[in-house]
Amino acid sequence: MTRDLHSPPRATQSFSAHLAPRASKTKDQRGTLHPAARRLLLDASPHPRLLAQERPGGRGPRKSPLSLPCPSIHPAPASGDPMARAHWGCCPWLVLLCACAWGRPKAVDVGGQDVRNCSINPPYLPVTVVNTTVSLTALRQQMETQNLSAYIIPDTDAHMNEYISQRDERRAWITGFTGSAGTAVVTMKKAAVWTDSRYWTQAERQMDCNWELHKEVGTTPIVTWLLTEIPAGGRVGFDPFLLSIDTWESYDLALQGSNRHLVSIITNLVDLVWGSERPPVPNQSIYALQEAFTGSTWQEKVSGVRSQMQKHQKTPTAVLLSALEETAWLFNLRASDIPYNPFFYSYALLTDSSIRLFANKSRFSSETLTYLNSSCTGPMCVQIEDYSQVRDSIQAYALGDVRIWIGTSYTTYGIYEVIPKEKLVTDTYSPVMITKAVKNSKEQALLKASHVRDAVAVIRYLVWLEKNVPKGTVDEFSGAELVDKFRGEEQFSSGPSFQTISASGLNAALPHYSPTRELNRKLSSDEMYLLDSGGQYWDGTTDITRTVHWGTPSTFQKEAYTRVLIGNIDLSRLIFPAATSGRMVEAFARRALWDVGLNYGHGTGHGIGNFLCVHEWPVGFQSNNIAMAKGMFTSIEPGYYKDGEFGIRLEDVALVVEAKTKYPGSYLTFEVVSFVPYDRNLIDVSLLSSEHLQYLNRYYQTIREKVGPELQKRQLLEEFQWLQQHTEPLSAKAPDPASWASVLVVSTLAILGWSV
């Protein structure tokens, strides 16, 4: 409602910043995937309608990129690229989300699109194409100085972020193609892009004839092409900070024995060409979160990590943190260098006797420097070194008798290659990532509190929609703006946690759909509407999806909605042994759909942070998520999508808590902390068991208790009234035969004049 005075520097600014050009930023999130998931990804392709919604633009890409209505966030697209492992970022879980049902391969109709034609002379180039001749020539000059036959330009940044900043969009800048996934390779004679089917049309609209388009993904086709294009002995350059360890290994393996050599070049050649046109390094303040919003002090966190180092059987002397969320969490620092995530470019090297934070020192206020105890050099003093020094510093540190612990899932080859293998201690996730996954009681309380306020914003929006949709004045885009605005009015708000998915009717069945100001659909009482949105608050990150219908849904829509709801309930109320993997239980969210031959093609949930990532690894229900433990938060979000008609998703965030079981044992269950009622208009009560009804009515009671007072406190009386109505206990519609019979008996007896 009101902005708090204790606003951390710049935090309030990031809200509007997120709605600016970045809102249309597209970026996948990918990670270490189960092979099956990766196989599925290979089939992923967009819905033709999605492509039809591209909006035209001019030379724009370099400054305001052309973009498909393909948000960076959920449901997010994914490539089938084996290099997917290269990408880190907050959350690769959604890869699966889009890969299956949504991603059913379809022939992409390029005919009606305004695309290039390089087979005629002169070639036909639509206005959306970027002329890259000059920059390519300049790049080849740089390659020549390095004696390279080829240069690889990936789509990542140095931290494998889910969302990357414009200054990291090198592949988009050099090719003109702004799709979120795709690798470019330039030789002295040719230039080529490999991207998946979601982006083929977009690439044909944006790239000039300097570029070949290859409709495959993965290192294998790239290397196969390279072998025919560059001579024996040829050197293949790459920026080691843009390849994950795994991706580097796959290139290295594929090139083995070919007499072509990978050459790590730490100065990015595209950056040299991009020059002063390249967006500058962020210079906003890096601020410390107030103690009220942190679960522990940074000193406590540092001590905790050091204690894990000591306990580790390989006794590492240092932990190297490469993911931005790790540094943000460890030091309780935030900024807004990249979209949606309150992070700042940094690395940290936490040794047994020192703490080194690699970041731009000028971005810290004197208060923050004091907070970090940065004027000393003891084991509890944070020494700030320049971000650009990280590689040299790690290399120098590695000269000693040390062992450096890294999380291999999100460390780049640029760091990896300077540490001798015998001095590496590798785990998939760093101890910071693992520790962060389990929230302590204060963090739990903070995250819950943010969800109560978040519910207020969503409820205000739903109430407003209920009144305004029938007027025919609301569209998907204005709706998204409004819910973002309502969130922005909540205490401690720091902008959306991802681009709001506001999708009406058939659009809700589309993968990675978000409306734009130019292209959107009217909301109508005749259609279902899906809203998937979340906020960043200083106390927590939120993410909730509700699907509503203001008119008369079809029987099938009600059945599908109710079965999705049953899935949500069945997983939410499941009792399972401690340390069970999410993948072992996620089918409970699907069973009610499977029963009648329905399903959804995405994952069932992901971790979430305290003013950190909305998709926080490594918690969730996928095969590469870690086992469930008390104190973790995960989303639970089954759905159903009827191609060309409607989409349903019901997403809640839930805390993993201990379950009390009849017989003693270490069991867990979920406590849902999202507090917005489901749509009664879409629930077919006859499909619910008495256990479902009981669960639902208990949940509604909780919503009343949590959100009701908040609405009353703020005099949101209309919203309070709405909440009361929408959380009325549900009961089986038809009175059961027992009740009828009882009524009859009572009546009969009454007739007879007997007292009962």
> Which positions touch a copy of itself (CB under 8 A)?
36, 574-577, 580-581, 583-588, 591, 594-599, 659, 661-665, 667, 689, 736-738, 741-742, 744-745, 748-749, 752
Strand residues in 575-632 grouped as ranges (E): 576-577, 606-607, 616-620
Task: Enter the tokens of residue 52.
Answer: 């039809």
Identify which of residues 585 and 693 has a Cβ nearer to a copy of itself in the complex: 585
SS3 253: helix
Supply the minimum distance, in Å, between the C-beta of residue 650 and a copy of itself. Answer: 19
Supply the minimum distance, in Å, between the C-beta of residue 653 and a copy of itself. Answer: 22
Supply the minimum distance, in Å, between the C-beta of residue 586 and a copy of itself. Answer: 7
Strand residues in 247-339 grouped as ranges (E): 261-264, 287-288, 318-321, 333-334
Supply the minimum distance, in Å, between the C-beta of residue 500 and a copy of itself. Answer: 31
Identify which of residues 366 and 555 has a Cβ nearer to a copy of itself in the complex: 555
Identify which of residues 233 and 257 has a Cβ nearer to a copy of itself in the complex: 257
Q: Which residues pair with 685 in a beta bridge?
A: none
Identify which of residues 594 and 717 has a Cβ nearer to a copy of itself in the complex: 594
Identify which of residues 209 and 589 has a Cβ nearer to a copy of itself in the complex: 589
Identify which of residues 442 and 583 has a Cβ nearer to a copy of itself in the complex: 583
Helices (runs of H) and strands (runs of E) counted in the chain: 24, 28
Distances (CA, A) of 39 to 214, 224, 406: 19, 20, 28
Residue 618's contacts (CB-CB under 8 Å, 6 or more residues apart) are 409, 428, 429, 433, 434, 437, 607, 624, 625, 626
Supply the minimum distance, in Å, between the C-beta of residue 41 and a copy of itself. Answer: 16
Beta strand 355-358 with 347-351: parallel, antiparallel or unpaired?
antiparallel
Supply the minimum distance, in Å, between the C-beta of residue 251 and a copy of itself. Answer: 20
Residue 421's contacts (CB-CB under 8 Å, 6 or more residues apart) are none
For residues 194 and 214, is the Cβ–Cβ distance under 8 A? yes
Supply the minimum distance, in Å, between the C-beta of residue 360 and a copy of itself. Answer: 41
Supply the minimum distance, in Å, between the C-beta of residue 685 and a copy of itself. Answer: 17
SS3 482: helix
Identify which of residues 58 and 735 has a Cβ nearer to a copy of itself in the complex: 735
Whole-number Å distance between alpha carbons of 197 and 188:
27
Amino acid at 404: I
Supply the minimum distance, in Å, between the C-beta of residue 413 and a copy of itself. Answer: 23
Whole-number Å distance between alpha carbons of 543 and 557:
24
Which residue has tokens 């008609």?
A: 645
Supply the minimum distance, in Å, between the C-beta of residue 601 and a copy of itself. Answer: 10
Identify which of residues 97 and 191 has a Cβ nearer to a copy of itself in the complex: 97
Whole-number Å distance between alpha carbons of 4 and 14:
15
**Number of Cβ atoms within 10 Å of the Cβ of 387:** 18
Identify which of residues 12 and 599 has a Cβ nearer to a copy of itself in the complex: 599
Identify which of residues 465 and 574 has a Cβ nearer to a copy of itself in the complex: 574
Whole-number Å distance between alpha carbons of 139 and 186:
9
